[in-house]
Amino acid sequence: MLVMAQMRRNTKIIMIATALAFAALMLFEWGMDASGRSAAGGGQIGLVNGESVRSDQYNLVYQNLYSQAQAQQEPPLTSLQIKELEDQAFNEIVTQILIEQELDRRGIRVSDEEIRSAAQFNPPPQFLSEPSLQTNGQFDIQKYQQFLASQPEGFLLQLESYYRDVIPRSKLLRQVSAGVYVTDQELWRRWRDQQETIEVRFIPLDPSTRIADDEVTVTDADIQAYYDANQDEFEQPARARVIATILDKTPTPADTLAQYQRATDILESIRAGDETFEDAAAIESSDDATAARGGDLGTFGPGDMVPAFDSAVFAGPVGEPFGPVVSRFGNHIIEVTERWGQDSVTARHILIPHRRTDDSELDLLTMADSLEELGESLPLAEAAATVGLSTTEADVTLEFAVLSGAGDVSEGADWALNEAEVGDVSPVFETATAFYAFELVSTTPAGVIPLDVARGSIEQQLRFDAKQALAEERGADIVARVRAGEALPNVADELGLDVRTAGPFSRVDFAPGLGRQNAAIGAAFGVEAGEITDVVSIPTNSFIIEVLNRTPADSAAFEAQKEFQREQLTRSLSQDRLNAWIEGLRESANVEDLRDQLEELQDDVPEPGYGGFGF
């Protein structure tokens, strides 16, 4: 038994090691290693400084990104999401090739001795958390070295390949981020900003409501001068006016009832002994993460699951399937296998999600196809009415392509502004929540909003500015009285002003009534306890603030964590510099995207499966 247990542990380690050649390079956060400069096969889909980007590389990265994205949502990815993933895959490969070219240009290499040393004393991160290589919960370098000594040549060659890739990139990272150092003063400032707190009371002067419109004057000349001096504020993007129709993909009440009945039928089948819970989970459950193991959710405590599920597992029977329990994820058939009071529970479930039935989905797709076909010969309003849909008019821009009921309609906005002519009806586009189609009514080119259109908003802003200036003048008298010895609450009461309190809060916290990381917060931390600020204004209000209490940051605690904070911040700044350096590489590179010249690159790429259920 002990031998078998050891074999299982070693097998797990070998599986981890086998994955090294395909793992993301964590030091760089550059995604999948797609450099593959000597890879064979695949057509050319781009050039990076004359070096080919191959379709086999592209397909590999795209499939990986597709799998990750689909695992995060239940509905199939939309055409817009797929387009974004295609661009992301291409850009990742471009980055990898640029890095390989830079390694060559700098002559960065790795020696055999460096690989031997790294393999012995600097194991890949995946090994550090492996229990069989730990002693008392800590990674044991001797166990790791003993493990290496017992491995076959094939494993060691994989490990060598890993280090030949990682070590040069680590050297490049050190070169790029050389000189990044965080001083004690910077560390203390950050620590102080997070840890030092104050409590305040303050008067909001509320210029917009406490000062009447007739107390300030805004002239036509003022409006014209503001408009002339702030033309950038009135720039507007190109805009399309469209007729839109939306075909909602949300399950109907009939779908919801049908899926609930489906869950009920599965439960009855299990209770009747026609199938086991495990078999039903493997076949029926949409929670891919648990279906393969019979729906097992493991052991968890109260509050770990969504409320409806949580209440059911701690109140339902033990050892007997029950349900369906309805949550936002769908209908759950549940079996509690063990429960320890209200402390923890072990359970399994089968998830039947809230989604359209097959027949309902087919009807939806048929309607979408019919709408698209009718739109080829009819105005959109007529095509929509024929299939029982209504239309509405809306303005869309590339910068704000959102339509109520459909969500992100960037694909449609791009069609309207870059492809269509007035009167054209679009194909049917798809988002996560709907199908939709547009008819182009008109377009407005990018430009500057005319003064007669902008006049109202300019006058409103200038009027508020004038009121705020008057409030600051009056507030200065209040500050003078308080500094002369009067109590802030007494002065406020005499003038009919509110006094509010806030805190304790730090420089980076949100302070109710004052806001976050603005001039008011800065002014409050600029005075000592018992002192009052000058009148301080933010874009929406003006304040007088009195500091009641101040709690300094703990300097001893700072010293205890200083080096850890320095390491974390240095790593973050190094990554920022690295990202900027990569962006600079891309800007100076000659990148040619030839994907549009090839047909159906993804025809031979099988679509990964759907994502799973997640609490």
List, for residues 149-179, the tens digit of each pLDDT value: 888 877 788 888 888 878 888 888 888 877 7
Q: What percent of the chain has pLDDT over 90?
A: 49
Mean pLDDT of 19-39: 37
pLDDT tens-digit map of 266-294 = 999 999 999 999 999 999 998 888 888 89
Distance between CA 244 and CA 426 in Å, rounded?
Answer: 10
Answer whether residue 608 is part of any domain.
no
Domain match, 440 and 363 both: yes
Q: Parallel, antiparallel, or unpaired for β 197-204 and 510-511?
A: unpaired
pLDDT of 8 higher than 80: no
Q: Of 289, 324, 354, which residue constitutes the final position of a domain?
A: 354
What is the length of the chain? 615
Domain match, 431 and 494 both: no
Conformation bin of residue 203: beta by default, left when phi > 0, alpha when psi is -120 to 50: beta
Answer whether residue 610 is part of any domain.
no
Distance from chain centroid for Cα 96:
23
pLDDT at 612: 33
CB atoms within 10 A of CB 248: 14
Confidence of residue 42 (pLDDT cuts 50, 70, 90): low
Distance between CA 519 and CA 538 in Å, rounded?
Answer: 6
Q: Of 393, 411, 445, which residue constitutes the final position of a domain?
A: 445
Domain match, 134 and 46 both: yes
Mean pLDDT of 1-23: 40
Mean pLDDT of 34-46: 53
Answer whether residue 570 is part of any domain.
no
Q: How many CA atoms lie within 13 A of 159 on its CB side?
A: 28
Domain match, 261 and 327 both: yes
Domain match, 22 and 129 both: yes
Peptide bond just before 207 cis, omega within 30 deg: no
Domain match, 213 and 301 both: no
Phi, psi of 179 (to 5 degrees): 95, -5
Q: In the numeric block, which tokens belong to residue 156?
A: 């060691």
Quick check: 191 and 554 in contact, CB under 8 A? no
The count of structural domains within the chain is 4
pLDDT of 105 higher than 60: yes
Answer whether residue 324 is part of any domain.
yes
Answer whether residue 523 is part of any domain.
yes
Domain match, 77 and 226 both: no
pLDDT of 73 higher than 60: yes
Answer whether residue 190 is part of any domain.
no
pLDDT at 596: 76
Confidence of residue 263 (pLDDT cuts 50, 70, 90): very high
pLDDT tens-digit map of 567-602 = 888 888 888 888 888 888 888 999 988 887 664 444
Angle between helices 220-229 and 451-483 in degrees, nearest 10: 100
Confidence of residue 358 (pLDDT cuts 50, 70, 90): confident
Domain match, 27 and 148 both: yes
Quick check: 462 and 448 in contact, CB under 8 A? no
Domain match, 159 and 202 both: no
Ranges 15-29, 404-418, 529-543, 563-577: which has the least confidence? 15-29
Answer whether residue 68 is part of any domain.
yes
Domain match, 202 and 260 both: no
Domain match, 379 and 283 both: no
pLDDT at 464: 95
pLDDT at 598: 60
Quick check: 489 and 546 in contact, CB under 8 A? no
CATH code (residue 230): 3.10.50
pLDDT of 45 higher than 70: yes
pLDDT at 502: 94
pLDDT tens-digit map of 238-252 = 999 999 999 998 888
Quick check: 313 and 345 in contact, CB under 8 A? yes
Burial class (CB in 10 A: 0-12, 13-18, 19+), 141: middle
Q: Parallel, antiparallel, or unpaired for β 429-430 and 434-444?
A: antiparallel
Mean pLDDT of 513-528: 93
Q: Of 399, 418, 445, which residue constitutes the final position of a domain?
A: 445
Answer whether residue 104 is part of any domain.
yes
The chain-wide mean pLDDT, for the chain, equals 85
CB atoms within 10 A of CB 205: 25
Distance between CA 352 and CA 284 in Å, rounded?
Answer: 7
Instruction: Give the range of the structural domain holding residue 120, as residue numbers without chain letter.
Output: 2-178+577-597
Distance between CA 469 and CA 23 in Å, rounded?
Answer: 60
Q: In the numeric block, which tokens belong to residue 26?
A: 């964590």
Query: Of the candidates 52, 174, 35, 171, which has an alpha carbon nearest to the alpha carbon of residue 95?
Result: 35
Domain match, 282 and 384 both: no
Side chain identity at residue 142, one-letter code: Q
Quick check: 410 and 80 in contact, CB under 8 A? yes
Ranges 191-195, 333-337, 546-550, 603-607: which has the least confidence? 603-607
pLDDT tens-digit map of 602-615 = 444 444 333 333 33
